[in-house]
Amino acid sequence: MAEKKAIIVLAPAAGLAGTAVEKLLKKGARFTNFTAGTVVDDAVAKETVTFLQPQDVAAAVEGGVDLGVVDLGNADSAALDAALAVILDAVDRKSVVAVVTKEGLVLHGNSINGKAGDVTRAANANDIIPTLAYITNLPITDACTGAILYQALKNPNLKLDEVTKLKEAVIRMEGAIARDNREPWDKHDCA
């Protein structure tokens, strides 16, 4: 189970209007040059994704769902806003939310640069799963063909920094073990 969670909200017919959407956009990155398509294909869905209703997101996040998809179908902007209000209240601070609408893709939450605003980079539906998997440490299958949207991240070198921290922790632990394994007469300088 991954420590970080991801929720994808699919509302291809809706626009980005409403109070919950505004809350999302204030600290999120929006890709306006977004090409819609199938976000979750069968190969990925069978292995990784849990399909949810908006009211089930809180229980799913609490229960350990790593990647959840809320498909609102042909919902309008008002329905999207209502669903987002429920979802944003349900997710914790370690979660990332991706919203796909006719007006683009919005990423919000953990590891997303809230000051990114509108990103001009071209993005498509295939990029969502690899980006969320990169952020949440989920495995990426060979069926994923998209790219990671580094322009939306707070730290594009996230994985490199995590590996560096782990290496430093191992060095500190090795030093502590070496100090603890000395003979009792070597531990104190009594001379």
pLDDT at 104: 87
The CATH number that applies at residue 61 is 3.40.720.10
pLDDT at 1: 44
In this structure, the answer to whether residues 124 and 179 fall within a common structural domain is: no
In this structure, the answer to whether residues 29 and 50 fall within a common structural domain is: yes
In this structure, the answer to whether residues 66 and 121 fall within a common structural domain is: yes
| Winning range, highest mean pLDDT, from 1-15, 66-80, 138-152 | 66-80
Sign of CA dihedral 154, 158, 164, 166: positive
In this structure, the answer to whether residues 147 and 162 fall within a common structural domain is: no
Mean pLDDT of 12-26: 85
In this structure, the answer to whether residues 90 and 10 fall within a common structural domain is: yes
Q: Count structural domains, the chain.
A: 2
What order do you get walking across the sheet with 5-11 strand by strand? 50-52, 67-71, 5-11, 95-101, 104-109, 28-31, 117-119
In this structure, the answer to whether residues 173 and 89 fall within a common structural domain is: no
In this structure, the answer to whether residues 54 and 147 fall within a common structural domain is: yes
pLDDT at 161: 87
String of DSSP letters for 139-159: ---TT------GGGBS-TTHH
In this structure, the answer to whether residues 90 and 165 fall within a common structural domain is: no
Give per-residue pLDDT as tens, 113-136.
988 888 988 998 889 988 998 888
Task: Return the SS3 of 171.
Answer: helix
Domain ranges, residue 58: 5-152
Q: Using pLDDT thresholds of 50, 70 and 90, give the confidence band for residue 92.
A: confident
In this structure, the answer to whether residues 124 and 173 fall within a common structural domain is: no
Backbone angles phi, psi at 62, to 5 degrees: -65, -35
The structure tokens listed for 54 are 């908006």
Task: Give the residue ranges of DSSP H helices in 2-156.
Answer: 19-26, 42-47, 57-63, 77-90, 128-136
In this structure, the answer to whether residues 119 and 28 fall within a common structural domain is: yes
Q: How many CB atoms lie within 10 A of CB 184?
A: 6
In this structure, the answer to whether residues 173 and 137 fall within a common structural domain is: no
Mean pLDDT of the chain: 85
In this structure, the answer to whether residues 182 and 130 fall within a common structural domain is: no
pLDDT at 175: 86
Q: Using pLDDT thresholds of 50, 70 and 90, give the confidence band for residue 9.
A: very high
